[in-house]
A and B are shown apart, each in its own frame.
Chain A
Amino acid sequence: MAEVAKNNINFKSDLQVTSVNVSENEKQKALDVLQNTTLPTTRVEAWKYTRVAKLGKIDFVNEKATISDISNYVIDDTKCSFVFINGHFSKGNSSQEIPAGVTITLLSEINAPLSKSSLTIEDEVFNAMNTAHLTGGLKIDITSNALVEIPIQIIHILKGDSTISNFKTIVNAGKSSQADLIQGFFSESGESNFCNSTSEINVAENAVLRIDKIQYESEKSFHISTEQVKQDKNSNFRINTFTLNGGLVRNNLNIDVNGQNCETHLNGAYLLKNKQHVDNHSVVDHKVANCESHELYKGVIDDRSTAVFNGKVFVRPNAQKINAFQSNGNLLLSDSATINSKPELEIYADDVKCSHGSTTGQLDEEAIFYLRARGLSERSARHLMVSAFIGDVLDKITNANIKTYTRRLLNDRFGWEF
């Protein structure tokens, strides 16, 4: 059994070790990192506003589990959906009609060791843990020129107390291909369970890849996601991240724009209540010229919850003619809610147009008064204002089924009609 006490993440000795064939070399490297690093404290700049020490107090386990009815977790009624429970593939719940031009392989069924990961492991304890103790996942290959009309849906469900799932998604979008991916992260039951997910995404030349990611775990669960995206020239990548439930959620979204003439769109909405903590970190690294990136994140923060936004845009030397825009808006609904926003620009080229904006405020009481004077109840006036605020992010969802599903979740959790 892995000796990982040093990094403060503890596993019960009966932790089922991965069935995935990670190369010995990679695994050893990851284990070494785990041995030599501790969980980040708030003194580490990247974790300044998020405390993860709680994770060290739990003895994590991993077990296979079954769920009889998953209909609640189906985001889009597509024929191509892959369901994982605690990181293990649940064949019975999945409908594996794979569209033409797509090859999907379970990581547990790949005999050859996984090829070298694009994830950074040094100083990234959660990536190291994911590599060293990988539970399961899948690899999606989209052939060149394939136009995939059916979205590929990946549903991950946590079940049981202190369950940990180290989950991985690998996506290779081939040259001039176009595809849509849906990722859903849910929690069926249990306390203090933890989904540690990584995604390695390669968008080849001229390819279009769109991801809608919905996080709806429980107020008692932990979730850490890292998406490592590499974009080749002329490619177009979009990810919409909706964080609607979760105890402690941290999303690391790293985009390397390696080719010219790329477009990158990052949109996110986070709605928090009670004592939730949601932290969205993104890095868009413009390494070459003539690209554009757009980032729009909006949050509604209620009760005693805390939201963190840290968006960083790099424009490397000689990456001229970059247009990079970043916007973060926050609505505080309670006096005990906290927002920490850190939009950053690091620019080393001169012929660029970059801007960022961050606003924090509350609902405009004048506007609410106006709506009430026109006969709306205070409750619906507030909902109307909140939905107006968050609406432009919701509008970034182009798939109507996902939009409907997201609205349903918002209604379930907040009682808000959008």
Chain B
Amino acid sequence: MITINDLHAKIEDKEILKGLSLEVKAGEVHAIMGPNGAGKSTLASVLAGREDYEVTAGSVSFVGEDLLELSTEERAWAGLFLAFQYPVEIPGVSNINFLRTAINETREKKDLDPISAKDFMAMVREKSALVELDAKLASRSVNEGFSGGEKKRNEIFQMAMLAPKLSILDETDSGLDIDALRIVASGVNKLKNENNATIIITHYQRLLDYIVPDFVHVLFDGKIVKTGGKELAIELEEKGYDWIKEEIAQ
């Protein structure tokens, strides 16, 4: 699905990613954990194509295409979805209108006809139920006046609507209470199948109780320094990151 090879990226002369490599196959769930400032959110931003970051070396292949050659929206059309750590508010633009535009543009690129209003609304009803998102929120302005939990659920709702190949959840769990966390996680689990993949970027092992990862990676100082199974996450939760630092130092 996605192969990241020796990726280096910087922002304003500060190098953040220093040779990151990672491979994710269809049907897999990967968790990336790491201390603050390790480069977790940078990775998400670089993969989504945020212009503030400059890729200085390395390659990323996504479903057979050179991801770095694609513009942000082309990446989205190719099936890459980023659940934002801080979802953006767009006053006056309804969630529905926003999503319909997104879906229809993606369909247009695939030479498909625009989705009919009837089918679209049926899909909205079905997918919003998935994350227990109040139908009223769907007609409100994008993220405007949403609570933190609603914003995150809205991200998963959009993910469900757009049915991406690869979803990157950037700190989707932070700041959520346990109920919201369960809802978000169950949404993600229901969307999971053998044809798509998920990268979960998180601080806390807690989320991984609900979404069971196939692999856990530790991102430290711009590189993946350790990879393991679910048990690695538990170990990190118990022991913190210091032992990893020591391990690297040795």
A and B touch in the complex (CB under 8 A): no
| Chain B residues close to A by CB (< 8 Å) | none
| Chain A residues close to B by CB (< 8 Å) | none
